[in-house]
Structure 1
Amino acid sequence: MNPRFDTIIAFVRVAETGSFSEAARRLNLSKSMISRQVSALEADLGVRLLHRTTRSLSPTEAGRAYLERCQRILADLDEANLLVSHLQAVPRGRLRVSAPLSFGIGHLAESLPGFLARYPEIELEMGFTDRHVDLVEEGWDLAVRIGRLADSSLIVRRLAPIRRLAAASPDYVARRGTPVHPSELSGHDCLTHGGRVHSEWRFTGEDGKPIQVEVKGRFDSDNGDVLRDMAMAGLGIVLLPSFFLGDGIRAGRLVPLLEKYVPLDSSLNVVYPHGRHLSPKVRAFVDHLAATFGPEPYWDRGLTEQAVR
């Protein structure tokens, strides 16, 4: 017997809120009705979906798996409804976006006036932080994130590749020489990121195998802009995304190093919850970012001609 749709909705709301009372309030039904619907669903499926105690309520292992699938189904239904709705035509309302601090200030902010001019009915709230915010818990519509993203329940759209580059100033290279293989970095001053002056940098050999090199130096920072500036001052070699380094390389204040060993394993992404990815305001912002940055980001233009190998 196939479960009724209303029992599925009741289960999802109970599992999401952890409360029969809250689920009943959101669905405008009585608590007893919600309880009967969930019990009916469990009877239809022949499996217990929720652990119930006097103090707590949580999904069982089967309940968690069923919840994930049901949430996807409901999200797909929301998409279908939006697709045929007149609300799809005009992006409007408040849009809350979280973005990394340095990338947000250095690159994303420049694109925002054009977006707001194109969509006058959108009110945009930007939060710049390197902390990975919880979109659902904190009420963000979407987030811009850089790197290799772990699996999650969020929808991910890849906007552009993010190259990492090792680079140093011409003065540093003249004084200390040009490393031609990652293993030579152990004899250089390296500007590290992450709260310690000893760090491990990852590269890829010409045979495709990973190369891990322990590097050290006298300076560490949690901010890419500061690390770039220290490299331009001649204090060592830095390994950073190219959006930090492009202007310095084109201006001749930095030279890229070891380019053929740096893996292309990172990307610029946007992430958003399933229920929001066909919202007109979210779709408009994501499409705007895709047109602005991808698939060949402007900060990489002209860098290959500058390479030192």
Structure 2
Amino acid sequence: MRTDDVLEVMNELVAFVRVAEAGSFSAAARQHGQTPSAVSRQVARLEKVMGVALLQRSTRQLRLTEAGLDVLERGREMVAAAQATVRVAEGHVGVPRGRVRISAPKAFARQVLQQPLLSFLQRCPEVDLHLMVVDRPVDALREGVDLVIRLTDDPPPGMVARALMPVRQLLLASPAYLSGRPPVRTPEDLMAHSCLSLGEQERDNRWRWVRGGDVVEVAVSGRYTVNHSEMRLAAVEAGLGVGCVPDFVARDALAAGRVVQLLPDWVFDNHYQGTAYLLFAASRHTAPKVRALIDHLVAALGPCAQPV
């Protein structure tokens, strides 16, 4: 018997399992809204395809043949597997449920993402979240991540990208540090100041500034190098020098007057700014759990979030 023949009689196999478990054609028919004759024909067709008798019929009862017992055992497994498959599929439609894996840069996760994720968990009680907080690029497909947040001006091809919010690096200093020191009116003025760099790449101590068509690059130096934006902000607040941090990290310190922004009409041009994009694999059938989180984050963070 060919495998294709089995696939063509799956309905008949289900009918046989129902009859064997119910003990009669009429009982199986009543349970599933069919006539006894229709159920009998399904079982007869299965026997014909298999080339073996599965049931011994009498006026009073049905008895399974030896082949029927074996087929029933395997048939139950197939029916259970089909039911489990349907349940898996149901997890991808309807009510959001299941686990969603999302990755984000450290400072962004702490300063921006934390509250929207907590509110999402309260809103969708059947969804679990696994947040990976990493500053390295994450390969969503290879690492099994559903959603990736990346700060970039150039979203990777092959992924759907939703723009959540612009991210700009701000040049900051504390009022105490600036007191009695030369003013910072142009990028070149930074050469006379202690500047807090990231120290991840050789060019991190060469700061490139853009204003309209003007581009200025200056070599800077300072006493403290740290590749953590929140720690860099703390050093700026402590008066150790001037430093650039993302606007979402600087927000509270600026509002409280602990720091002031320098060169506001210039753009600090480096790869740690751009737009915070929500990246995910293109699919016509995005799971409800993933779609629900996408919609939630876009509503919370991205008033102009559009696919690109």
TM-score scaled by length of structure 2: 0.63
State the partner residue of 1:286.
294
**1:199 maps onto 2:187 in alignment:** no
Contact (CA 8 Å) 1:182, 1:258: kept in 2 or not? yes
Go from structure 1 to structure 2 and tell me whether the alpha carbon gap of 1:167 and 1:103 turns closer, same or farther (over 3 Å shift).
Answer: same
Aligned-pair CA distance for 1:149: 3.2
The 2-side partners of 1:158 and 1:215 are apart by 32
State the partner residue of 2:148.
143
Contact (CA 8 Å) 1:195, 1:220: kept in 2 or not? no
**1:102 maps onto 2:102 in alignment:** no
The 2-side partners of 1:280 and 1:194 are apart by 42
Deviates further, 167-176 or 259-268: 259-268
Aligned-pair CA distance for 1:289: 1.4
Please give the residue correspondences for 1:206-225 in structure 2 after superposition, counting only pairs within 5 Å: 207-225=212-230
Aligned-pair CA distance for 1:260: 0.4
State the partner residue of 1:162.
167
Please give the residue correspondences for 1:1-80 in structure 2 after superposition, counting only pairs within 5 Å: none
State the partner residue of 1:67.
none
The 2-side partners of 1:161 and 1:251 are apart by 22
The 2-side partners of 1:182 and 1:293 are apart by 32
Contact (CA 8 Å) 2:197, 2:225: kept in 1 or not? yes
Go from structure 1 to structure 2 and tell me whether the alpha carbon gap of 1:277 and 1:288 turns closer, same or farther (over 3 Å shift).
Answer: farther
Q: Which amino acid aligns with 1:92?
A: R
Identity of aligned residues (%): 36
Aligned with 1:190 (options 169, 190, 195):
195
State the partner residue of 1:267.
275
SS at match of 2:180: helix
The 2-side partners of 1:276 and 1:134 are apart by 20
Contact (CA 8 Å) 1:196, 1:220: kept in 2 or not? no
Aligned-pair CA distance for 1:176: 1.6
Aligned-pair CA distance for 1:216: 1.4
Aligned-pair CA distance for 1:88: 4.3
**1:128 maps onto 2:133 in alignment:** yes
Aligned-pair CA distance for 1:87: 4.7
The 1-side partners of 2:164 and 2:278 are apart by 7
State the partner residue of 1:49.
none
* Deviation string, structure 1 residues 149-196 (Cα, Å, up to 9, x no partner): 353322211111112210100011113233011111111110001336
SS at match of 2:220: strand
The 2-side partners of 1:113 and 1:215 are apart by 40
State the partner residue of 1:82.
none
State the partner residue of 1:252.
257
State the partner residue of 1:114.
119
Go from structure 1 to structure 2 and tell me whether the alpha carbon gap of 1:161 and 1:196 turns closer, same or farther (over 3 Å shift).
Answer: closer
Contact (CA 8 Å) 1:160, 1:294: kept in 2 or not? yes
The 2-side partners of 1:263 and 1:158 are apart by 20
The 2-side partners of 1:195 and 1:237 are apart by 18
The 1-side partners of 2:167 and 2:201 are apart by 24
Go from structure 1 to structure 2 and tell me whether the alpha carbon gap of 1:103 and 1:230 turns closer, same or farther (over 3 Å shift).
Answer: same
SS at match of 2:279: strand
SS at match of 1:137: helix
State the partner residue of 2:80.
none
* Deviation string, structure 1 residues 51-73 (Cα, Å, up to 9, x no partner): xxxxxxxxxxxxxxxxxxxxxxx
Contact (CA 8 Å) 2:170, 2:268: kept in 1 or not? no
Go from structure 1 to structure 2 and tell me whether the alpha carbon gap of 1:161 and 1:199 turns closer, same or farther (over 3 Å shift).
Answer: same
The 1-side partners of 2:144 and 2:262 are apart by 42
SS at match of 1:220: coil
State the partner residue of 1:300.
none
The 1-side partners of 2:284 and 2:140 are apart by 11
Q: Return the index of the structure with the highest Cα Rg.
A: 2
Contact (CA 8 Å) 2:207, 2:268: kept in 1 or not? no
Q: Which amino acid aligns with 2:288?
A: P
The 2-side partners of 1:261 and 1:168 are apart by 15
The 2-side partners of 1:196 and 1:134 are apart by 22
Q: How many residues align?
A: 212
The 2-side partners of 1:208 and 1:287 are apart by 38
